[in-house]
């Protein structure tokens, strides 16, 4: 389908949204008129209020025509004078793709590359072009693979995809605003009903009656039904444009093969899938590990530490497995991107173009002083709160970050101990309370499921025992860590490992289980702990 027909279809789908809105408002108007057929009455006034509340999100979605602007604030803008090699590579690939070079390059912290264009007059006139380029992508790709990624993105410029997105984006945002408005109203109704029922339940308990179970499933029903109407239209619009979107992606892949070569394009897709998984693991296990303790990695390492994970020899087997076992993926009827495995299969089925097997430098080397760039990127991508956190080297970061998570896990037990025994809330105070026979009274103050709340006697203890054991384990590890008898050892080769004194791997679990027995025995655990400080 040509550009003109695609633009026409996008306009028709956008117009369809407004026709749907007018149809809904017309129905509301008809219902309102019928309500007043026999004159003004309380029921008619109530219907008018309900219809007005339902009409407001529809009218708001119609009137807010402006779509969010691509203001370039989600990345680090790099000028050509700062990064001449990167700009030269981008300019070369854009020329080979037969399209205009982007006006701006923004580096991001995502495993992604994307192009945008602030087209005017619903895409009829070209606008400012931006290229978003993720530094994690550059960290894991070589220059040939990066050229393939750039060529693919510039293929969207050549097919006018970015200009047509101005029309389709307007329709998506209008539908999303309307659906979100109905969803928010439904949630407000449900919360209001929940509070009402909780108040009634509390009143019933005070009078000695059994409280009814909280049920808000019916609250906000009308708002949810209205939202589903617009969701259905949005899904219809996605289905209508799905086939073109997939053709555009495959056409962009063919352009990448022509410019960068078959092998580089296929391997770039494989590596991108691998990097997405590795980067997600890195963020969870390393870069953000210290946030519970208010810590960030050394400057430049929040994004730069990924290179150390990718270079770790012990991780290569995992990465190779990801490269060769890409999930085929079930194609969604609404996804404009074909599954990555399918794209790779189509590319690798092309004739050998003789451009494989040539060594290429790392894509990150296109940046002048990459360490400084990655440090500057933190200021552009992290929140103000994060930027004010203390910086720590990796071993300290991992140890204190895991310790902070155990501190949070132990907090409910400390609170329960304070309510029962008062005073100190440390482990030795808990053991003293257990010796006085108060352990299960303390455990009863831990958060419980609805089923556990209804249990009593031995059944109640069986529900409480796993939660008590977990919280005690955290409290014990905190005690040992603060006495420098235990620590979490950071490694790029594997997850952080808990280091305990010799024999504790064997003795600690039985000691904890003895403590949470029906008749608690604190002696085995006391023998493993450092001596309590004098009060």
> Taking the alpha carbons of 132, 136, 137, 139 in that order, is the dihedral positive or negative?
positive
Query: How buried is 125 (Cβ within 10 angstroms: 0-12 exposed, 13-18 middle, 19+ buried)?
Result: exposed
| pLDDT tens, residue by residue, 159-189 | 544 444 455 555 555 666 677 777 787 888 8
Provide the token pair at 4: 């003109």
Q: Around 367, how many Cα atoms within 13 Å sit in the side-chain half-sphere?
A: 27
Residue 278, phi-psi category: left (phi > 0), alpha (psi -120 to 50), beta (remainder): alpha
Residues of the chain scoring pLDDT < 50:
1, 67-72, 122-123, 160-165, 534-535
What is the predicted pLDDT for the residue at 61?
Answer: 67
Q: Please report the pLDDT score of residue 71 as a whole number.
A: 45
Cβ-Cβ contacts under 8 Å for 16 (sequence gap 6 or more): 233, 237
Helix (H) or strand (E) holding 302: helix 301-304
Give 3-state DSSP helix, strand, coil % of the chain, rounded to 5.
Answer: 65, 5, 30
The pLDDT of residue 162:
42
Taking the alpha carbons at both ends of the chain, their separation in whole angstroms is: 81
Contact 285, 405 (CB under 8 A): no
Neighbours of 20 (CB within 10 A): 19
* pLDDT the model gives residue 53: 78
Residue 269 to residue 346: CA distance in whole angstroms: 12
Identify any residues that bridge with 438 across adjacent strands, giving them in sequence order: none
CA-closest candidate to residue 13, choices 247, 235, 333, 229? 235
The DSSP line for 224-275 is HHHHHHHHHHHHHHHHHHHHHHHHHHHHHHHHHHHHH-HHHHHHHHHHHHHH
365, containing H or E segment: none
d(CA 100, CA 429): 71
Residues 310 and 421 sit within 8 Å (Cβ to Cβ):
no
């Amino acid at each position: 389908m040509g550009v003109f027909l695609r633009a026409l279809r996008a306009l028709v789908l956008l117009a369809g949204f407004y026709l749907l809105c007018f149809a809904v408002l017309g129905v509301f108007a008809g219902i309102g008129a019928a309500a007043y057929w026999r004159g003004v009455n309380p029921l008619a006034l109530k219907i008018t209020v309900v219809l007005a509340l339902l009409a407001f999100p529809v009218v708001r979605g119609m009137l807010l025509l402006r779509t969010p602007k691509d203001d370039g604030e989600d990345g680090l803008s790099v000028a050509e004078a700062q990064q001449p090699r990167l700009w030269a590579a981008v300019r070369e690939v854009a020329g080979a793709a037969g399209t205009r070079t982007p006006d701006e390059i923004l580096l991001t912290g995502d495993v992604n590359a994307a192009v945008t264009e602030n087209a005017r007059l619903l895409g009829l006139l070209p606008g400012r072009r931006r290229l978003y380029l993720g530094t994690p992508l550059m960290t894991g790709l070589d220059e040939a693979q990066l050229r393939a990624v750039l060529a693919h993105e510039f293929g969207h410029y050549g097919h006018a995809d970015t200009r047509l997105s101005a029309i389709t984006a307007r329709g998506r945002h209008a539908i999303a605003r309307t659906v979100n408005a109905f969803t928010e109203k439904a949630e407000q109704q449900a919360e209001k009903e929940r509070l009402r029922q909780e108040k009634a339940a509390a009143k019933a308990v005070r009078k000695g009656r059994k409280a009814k179970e909280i049920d808000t499933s019916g609250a906000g029903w009308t708002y949810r039904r209205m939202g589903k109407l617009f969701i259905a239209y949005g899904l219809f619009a996605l289905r209508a444009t799905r086939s073109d979107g997939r053709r555009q992606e495959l056409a962009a892949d063919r352009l990448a093969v022509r410019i960068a070569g078959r092998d580089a394009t296929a391997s770039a897709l494989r590596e991108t899938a691998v990097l997405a998984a590795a980067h997600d693991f890195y963020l969870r296990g390393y870069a953000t590990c210290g946030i519970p303790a208010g810590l960030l990695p050394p400057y430049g390492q929040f994004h730069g530490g990924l290179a150390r994970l990718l270079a770790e020899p012990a991780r290569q087997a995992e990465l190779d497995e990801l490269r060769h076992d890409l999930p085929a993926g079930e194609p969604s009827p609404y996804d404009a991107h074909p599954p990555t495995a399918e794209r790779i299969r189509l590319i690798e089925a092309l004739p050998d173009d003789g451009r494989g097997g040539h060594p290429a430098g790392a894509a990150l080397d296109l940046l002048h002083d990459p360490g400084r760039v990655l440090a500057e990127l933190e200021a552009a991508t992290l929140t103000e709160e994060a930027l004010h956190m203390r910086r720590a080297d990796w071993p300290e970061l991992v140890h204190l970050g895991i310790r902070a998570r155990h501190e949070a896990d132990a907090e409910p037990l400390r609170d329960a101990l304070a309510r029962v025994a008062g005073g100190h809330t440390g482990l030795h105070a808990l053991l003293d309370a257990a010796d006085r026979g108060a352990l299960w009274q303390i455990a009863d103050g831990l958060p419980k499921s609805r089923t556990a709340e209804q249990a009593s006697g031995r059944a109640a203890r069986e529900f409480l025992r796993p939660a008590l054991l977990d919280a005690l384990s955290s409290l014990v590890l905190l005690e040992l860590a603060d006495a420098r008898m235990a620590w979490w050892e950071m490694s790029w080769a594997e997850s952080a490992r808990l280091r305990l004194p010799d024999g504790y791997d064997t003795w600690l679990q039985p000691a904890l289980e003895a403590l949470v027995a029906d008749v608690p025995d604190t002696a085995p655990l006391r023998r493993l702990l450092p001596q309590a400080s004098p009060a």
